[in-house]
Amino acid sequence: MSGKKFRFSLQKVLELRRHETERARQALTEAESVLETRREELQQARRRLADCRSSVANGQTLRPATLRKEAAFREDARRAVATARAAVADAHERVANARDRLQERRRAEEALETLREQEQAKHEKEQAKAETAFLDEQAVLRHARTNPMSLMP
């Protein structure tokens, strides 16, 4: 005997939570990608600053205009490093926020999954109980047909 098919009462909400979890997972992946890009940019800015510092350390006698130009390049490189550091810190914060959002979404989804599993277990138990009652009734009816006198007091 097949019973009623299980239908989770909050299926639409569960699907929405799954979708939100997936979107949060994608946002985390994107934030991690941005962080990696910012780290690479910071490394490039550091190399540029190191190059600027090493070019002055060559020990050449330079004119004042060249010194000012070199100093401006070094200052620009220092600013680029500071900006890149800030961008990396911001990217770290975004990754942490995205990770937190993913955990929140996942917890909400897991709560609904647990509720779904509980409802499904309850449904299966009720179906088994109904099937047992049906089979018991069928057995009593079959016995009554084959032994009509056994049911009389």
Decide if 127 is inside a domain. no
Decide if 81 is inside a domain. yes
Decide if 137 is inside a domain. no
Average pLDDT of every residue of the chain? 88
Whichever domain contains 78, its CATH number is 1.10.287.1700
| Domain of residue 15, residue span | 11-118
The token duo for 66 is 């060249």
Least confident of 2-11, 25-34, 61-70: 61-70
Decide if 148 is inside a domain. no
Decide if 125 is inside a domain. no
Decide if 21 is inside a domain. yes
The closest alpha carbon to 77, from 51, 96, 100, belongs to: 51
Decide if 44 is inside a domain. yes
pLDDT at residue 83, rounded to an integer: 95
Decide if 89 is inside a domain. yes
Q: How many domains does the chain have?
A: 1
Average pLDDT over residues 3-27: 93
**What pLDDT digit, counting tens, does each position of 30-86 carry?**
999 999 999 999 999 999 888 877 766 555 556 777 778 778 888 888 999 999 999
Q: In which band, very low, low, confident or very high, does the pLDDT at 140 lie, cut at 50, 70 and 90?
A: confident
pTM listed for this prediction: 0.70
pLDDT at residue 147, rounded to an integer: 77
